[in-house]
Amino acid sequence: MALVIVSASVTSFILILLLLGPLGKNADLKARRISDAVRKVKVEKYEELEKSFYDRFFKPIISGILRRMAFLIPKNKRQDNKALEKALRYAGISLSVSEYTAVKTVVLLLSFLTAFMIAFGLVRDMGIRLLILTVGLLIGIVSPILFLRSKTEKRRTQIQHQLPEVMDILMVSVEAGLGLDEAISQMAGKMKGVIVDEFQMVLRETQMGKPRKEAFARLAECADIQELKVFVSAVIQAEQLGIPIKNVLAVQSASMRDMRRQIAQEKGMKAPVKMIIPMVVFILPVLIIILMAPVAIQLMEQFK
């Protein structure tokens, strides 16, 4: 009798589980989807509020206007935009080509309007007015280009200066038993800088599922630095061929140290050449005056 009761209970439990199990799974799935959707909306809402006023208000308007004006750009100009996009990437400027073009246009208009107000508000001579307008126009054209080059060179110098230290920390971390991702995370927690931010971006992209090859290929495009490109190529080849990453990091660290030493030696050898111009312009005339002034005074007294 007891066996019959136990068997009936087990059978009833199995039947209830088979009948109500799918309903429970569907209910759980719906609840999970609703929870994920609410969480996603909250996250997107918070992310939207964390953006700057420019990103929330002006950027969509400018992007819409430039998108409607895209048909006015010639095809060859669109091809040139790839080079400009690479230049913006090298400079670390988070603007699209269209936004940078809009900024250049605004700078040009402001420079020309400022020159126009100065020329026709303070000057009466027409020749000087034309000169001021020309200078204002040239400043508006050249200043964005010079700013972009200055940012690119400054960023390149920062990366070259910090890259050997980054390689040393990665090498020590990997030799201590950490993986490459953990070593990058460890390095990012101890250092700050442009190249550290780029490595953090690589780490985030790989964690989001992007192939490491593509993430590191993007790292090589952050600056026009041959050492960085060689490092990325070595890491990708090591991953494909199964070479221990610590060996690659050791070789790259030593190579970058040598390269940094060579750059310092080159700068030291160029220093005397660069000092010639200040010496000729500022020091040599003073020496000539000091040496020749007494002779000139004596000659003037004799001819009186």
pLDDT tens for each residue of 50-96: 566 656 666 677 666 655 655 555 555 555 677 888 888 888 887 77
| Entry pTM | 0.63
What are the tokens at 137? 């126009």
pLDDT band at 21 (very low <50, low <70, confident <90, very high): very low
Instruction: Check if the beta carbon of residue 125 is closer than 8 Å to that of residue 153.
Output: no
Q: How many helices (H) and strands (E) does the chain have?
A: 12, 0
Q: 193-202 burial, b if ≥16 CB within 10 A, otherwise e?
A: bbbbebbeeb
The predicted pLDDT at position 68 comes to: 60
Q: What is the mean pLDDT of the chain?
A: 76
Instruction: Check if the beta carbon of residue 199 is closer than 8 Å to that of residue 165.
Output: no
Is residue 242 scored above 60 in pLDDT? yes
What confidence tens digit (pLDDT) does each residue in 229-241 have? Answer: 888 888 888 888 8
Closest to 222 measured CA to CA, from 93, 83, 92: 92
Hey, what CATH topology would domain 157-263 get?
Receptor-associated Protein (1.20.81)
pLDDT band at 211 (very low <50, low <70, confident <90, very high): confident
Instruction: Check if the beta carbon of residue 140 is closer than 8 Å to that of residue 108.
Output: yes
The predicted pLDDT at position 275 comes to: 83
What are the tokens at 12? 């009833």
Closest to 234 measured CA to CA, from 167, 165, 161: 167
- Could you tell me the residue ranges of all domains in the chain? 60-152, 157-263
